[in-house]
Amino acid sequence: MSRSIADQTDAELGGPGSVLVRQRRDHVELDRLLHELDGTTGRAQEEVLARIDRLVFSHAFAEESVIWPVVRRTLPDGEDLTLRIEREHQEVNELVAALEEGGIDDPRRPARLARLVEVLREDVRDEEDVLFPRLQERLDVAELRRLGRQWDLVRRISPTRPHPTVSRRPPGNALSALPLTLLDRSRDLVDAVVRRAPAPLAPAGVAVSRGLAAVAGLVERTPPARRGDRPPTAR
């Protein structure tokens, strides 16, 4: 049985530039943030969730755009492997969207947060223990490093918010990437200012953020943004 990438050294995984090392590095940071999230409430919880969102959604979007097509071409069961993880990504999108919509006083919030943490940890295990060891067997070190550079580039210019109706596959995710990235990262800046702004100024920032969210909602519901999805993850 293939060894989990969690149990291998950086050298075994192809060095610091390898997609496997880069992926595991993000997973370690996610684990740290999930531990930080535990026990937080109110504004502190919102701060940690925002950092989790920025990490998770750009990470997953780049996976779906860059890595999963390679998995489907390379592994005989790549279709099933990626579809399983796409379902997890879809559930994360839906849970975070519900948390945003419900707000901090929603009685369903604790259950949704608990499920979010559970799904994120399941996703990490599926990738580190199952999918990436299989990919490691098929790609040489040069290919792992090249894929790592491509994934990291796309991750840096990917959306940072939940978009449940956007396709998890090309061409929809690729077509929607630029406008959603600009809108999401603008919202990130606005929301960061709102969390630190004096109370009288906060409502104006909240209104701007909601306006950007509304535009993003329109973008993700356009037909091009939904092309390529499979029924299990299509909304």
Parse the chain into domains and list their residue ranges.
Answer: 13-226
Between CA 97 and CA 7 the distance in angstroms is 33
Band the pLDDT of 8: cuts 50, 70, 90: very high
Arithmetic mean of pLDDT, 129-146:
98
What average pLDDT does this structure show over 147-154? Answer: 98
Q: What pTM was estimated for this model as a whole? A: 0.94
CA distance 150 to 19: 9
Which 8-state DSSP code applies to residue 6? G
Whole-number Cα distances in Å, 9 to 64, 134, 173, 227: 25, 17, 33, 39
Q: How far apart are CA 163 and CA 16, in angstroms?
A: 31
Instruction: Return the pLDDT at 108.
Output: 97
Least trusted range by pLDDT, from 12-16, 26-30, 72-76, 189-193: 189-193
pLDDT at 197: 82
For the segment 3-10, the average pLDDT, to the nearest whole number, is 98
Cα torsion at 216, 218, 222, 225 (round to 10°)?
A: 10
- pLDDT tier, 234 (very low <50, low <70, confident <90, very high otherwise): low
Average pLDDT over residues 71-95: 97
Q: Does residue 226 register a pLDDT over 80?
A: yes
